[in-house]
Amino acid sequence: DIQMTQSPSFLSASVGDRVTLSCKASQNINKYLAWYQQKLGEAPKLLIYNANSLQTGIPSRFSGSGSGTDFTLTISSLQPEDVATYFCLQHNSWPLTFGSGTKLEIK
């Protein structure tokens, strides 16, 4: 199985900050990486797929980049409503596997 490693596991930042979250795959997954946002008590919500494709309805301050084994989710200007845990998912090969998450809080 492909292992997905996210860093950091916890991040505290100020409103308006540019925030970068990392996800690394244990082997090449081409561009097949998705990002999900999970707010407390809610189901995950798809933000980004195929590494850099923004899901419909997601604010443009969210963006994704990367290919191969190294990927990044960037929030260009952190908003209070972005407080959540962010998970990456490799959708290159079965079984699909998630990272362990980055918990993002407002400083």
Partner 1 sequence: EVQLVESGGGLVKPGSSLKLSCVASGFTFSSYGMHWIRQAPKKGLEWIALIYYDSSNKYYADSVKGRFTISRDNSKNTLYLEMNSLRSEDTAMYYCAVTTEAPFDYWGQGVMVTVSS
* Secondary structure (H, E, C), the chain: CCCEEEECCEEEECCCCCEEEEEEECCCCCCCEEEEEECCCCCCEEEEECCCEECCCCCCCEEEEEECCEEEEEECCCCHHHCEEEEEEECCCCCCEECCCEEEEEC
37 forms part of the interface with partner 1 (CB under 8 A) = no
Nearer to partner 1, 3 or 77 (CB): 3
# residues near partner 1 by CB under 8 A: 22
91 forms part of the interface with partner 1 (CB under 8 A) = yes
What does the binding site for partner 1 look like in residue numbers (CB under 8 A)? 34, 36, 42-46, 49-50, 53, 55, 87, 89, 91, 94-101
